[in-house]
Structure 1
């Protein structure tokens, strides 16, 4: 099983949106038996909470299930469990390095570095623009699946 973890600051906006979108994409491509998906936070603020209302509204708008999305904190042992650890912005990447103790490891990737955008996914908790976040996350997730397919011969 290939394990993918999406990470953002609070695990209530960007990373659960990416988890839900990627899970649907994996299912649509009949890869659910080969790829498992999860998400986590670099902070402890929203542990145990469901996604932000804005994320839930976007997922509902695109008919994407939000079942099972509950905030959790990234743990050091996640580095061993996950094959791909995807941060939403440069700050997340630095925090992932700090929490896992693994700097500049190739399994730790900023999501939009896989796309033409090559920038951070803005946090809609602060910008209020969940539509832009969805557009960027969906683009990044498609690119990530292409990367995984190529690297894992799927």
Structure 2
């Protein structure tokens, strides 16, 4: 089983989702059952570490994302991953436009797995620190919901 998280540039939301989901998997004892990665639909930050604000916010919650590096979504990802989950509707549109017809991946929004009123994880890049905290709250809820979903056998 493998899961890919997708945002715009792969330096805020999707690497944070990757780190938070890895922690949720470890708590459930599923860290050896699920492969996890993240990427962006754009190429602006290729090879760069996550935004320092995202790293700091995640670190405060016990999640280290400092070793992650940005990469761009490619059509092959839809063939290799079981779940390709975007952070917002713009990401989802870009993902669906790139998805090959024969792809096996479930393509959707990450917050579909969260018990929250929002459907999108907002991009905190241009905001303040409170935006990163809000993103973490949403991602933690979604990570727990996704682990539950996977444990139930999809």
Fold in common (TM above 0.5): yes
Q: Which residue of 1 aligns with 2:117?
A: 117
Measured in 2, the distance between the counterparts of 1:70 and 1:99 equals 22
Would the aligned equivalents of 2:111 and 2:120 in 1 still touch at CA under 8 Å? yes
> What do the CA deviations read for 1:69-105 (whole angstroms, capped 9, x no partner)?
1000001000011001110000000111112235xx8
Q: Displacement, 1:63?
A: 1.5
Residues 30-109 of structure 1 mapped to structure 2, 5 A cutoff: 30-102=29-101, 107-109=106-108
Measured in 1, the distance between the counterparts of 2:50 and 2:138 equals 18
Secondary structure of the equivalent of 2:153? helix
Q: Displacement, 1:17?
A: 0.3
Q: Displacement, 1:67?
A: 4.7
Unmatched segments (≥5 aa) in structure 2: none
> What do the CA deviations read for 1:106-154 (whole angstroms, capped 9, x no partner)?
70120112223241110000333100011011111111111111125xx
> What do the CA deviations read for 1:27-65 (whole angstroms, capped 9, x no partner)?
122112111110000000011000001110111101212
**What is the total number of aligned residue pairs between the two structures?**
150
Q: Displacement, 1:23?
A: 0.7
Normalising by structure 2, report the TM-score: 0.90
RMSD of Structure 2 on Structure 1 (CA): 1.8
Of 74-83 and 56-65, more deviation after overlay is shown by 56-65
Measured in 1, the distance between the counterparts of 2:141 and 2:58 equals 15
Normalising by structure 1, report the TM-score: 0.90
**Counterpart among 145, 148, 151 of residue 149 in structure 1:** 151
